[in-house]
Structure 1
């Protein structure tokens, strides 16, 4: 990763301070799915052409069970604010196809995006092996930075509670939508975008 990304520009020495915070005025807009919703992971995977980023334990579990390890998976051990069951935990943490795999650990409290999470996302996408980012806190908002950091044509898959899996393809339209939402967050938007689009 670029050396400048690692510098602590805020001077307080605490990288886990929120870089961006979700304002209450945006919460309702993020409830609508950003792409088509699918309940069958096999059918969803037929539409995947390129890198695959999974946001959430249950989504990651279903993709692994369908035989496709995400290139980058973000998990936090919870679903709908409840601890995931033992089977999901076992599969997302232990069951990987043969080949290289890396685990990164970051802190990211609910309703915020920290610099370590954004950096881990960028690093995960740059690595040739599959990467699991284990989040201490909450990974839900990672969908938006993933849409900016992932290459054109990549697939972002995340869970829509009690509905299914949302499949968003990275293109100019979905990038613009994600960027427009992030620009309305509280915090250092310019710094966050520089990390993701740099």
Structure 2
């Protein structure tokens, strides 16, 4: 399978994932006032808004697309640097086809979270589902922020309840949850 797919999103879970996992914000500064660090951002537009508000996330996962369209040039330039400098200390790439989670993405996410520097992960494919493993992999109390199409940015604070929900969703995906857990180095 391309990118060593570990989990695949079944059709019957798609509608459940449309429900926000936390409060929705339209103002990045308000979100940042309520967020705790470290912050993991999932999505180009979310990352762009956090950067524009003066905050570089500890980890950002982007695919240079939003709602299946290429992001605007100013967003790309601000987030991935458009071949110039970025706000991030390091940059990694991962392959992850749409509707899946690959071993490559999961292990890259783990390394980025463990790094002592801000890390941009540019995903060849789609980064949307990375929100769920990010909730499991970040330290207790950390924030995961992702985009809710047409609504804003969702803030999830990692803790027992949010982890249980994310784990439940991942366990109901098709594939090998144990391999996903191993790739994330979860106990």
**Structure 2 matches for 1:2-81, cutoff 5 A?**
16-81=3-68
Is 2:141 aligned against 1:153?
yes
Gaps of 5+ in 2: none
Q: Which residue of 2 aligns with 1:92?
A: 79
Which residue in the other structure is 1:101 paired with? 89
Instruction: Judge which range, 33-42 or 16-25, deviates more.
Output: 16-25
* Counterpart for residue 175 of structure 1: 163
Are 2:167 and 1:186 equivalent residues in the alignment? no
What's the Cα RMSD here? 1.3
2:105 equivalent to 1:117 = yes
Offset at residue 50 of structure 1 (A): 1.6
Instruction: Name the CA distance, whole Å, in 1 between partners of 2:7 and 2:40.
Output: 21
> Does the CA contact (< 8 Å) of 2:47 and 2:57 recur in 1?
yes
- Give the direction of change, closer, same or farther, for the CA distance of 1:124–1:15 in structure 2 (3 Å limit): farther
Q: What TM-score do the two structures reach when normalised by structure 1?
A: 0.89
Shift of 1:15: 7.2
The TM-score normalised by the length of structure 2 is: 0.95
What SS class does the counterpart of residue 155 from structure 2 fall into? strand
After TM superposition, what 4+ stretches of structure 1 lie above 6 angstroms from structure 2?
none
Any idea what SS the aligned residue of 1:135 has?
strand
1: CA distance, partners of 2:36 / 2:137: 17
**Equivalent pair of 2:39/2:59 in contact (CA under 8 Å):** yes
Distance 1:18 1:44 in 2: 33
Residue 116 of structure 2, aligned match among 109, 120, 128: 128
May I ask how many residue pairs the two structures share in their alignment?
A: 183
Offset from partner CA, 1:109-138 (integer Å, 9 cap, x none): 000000010001000011010000000000
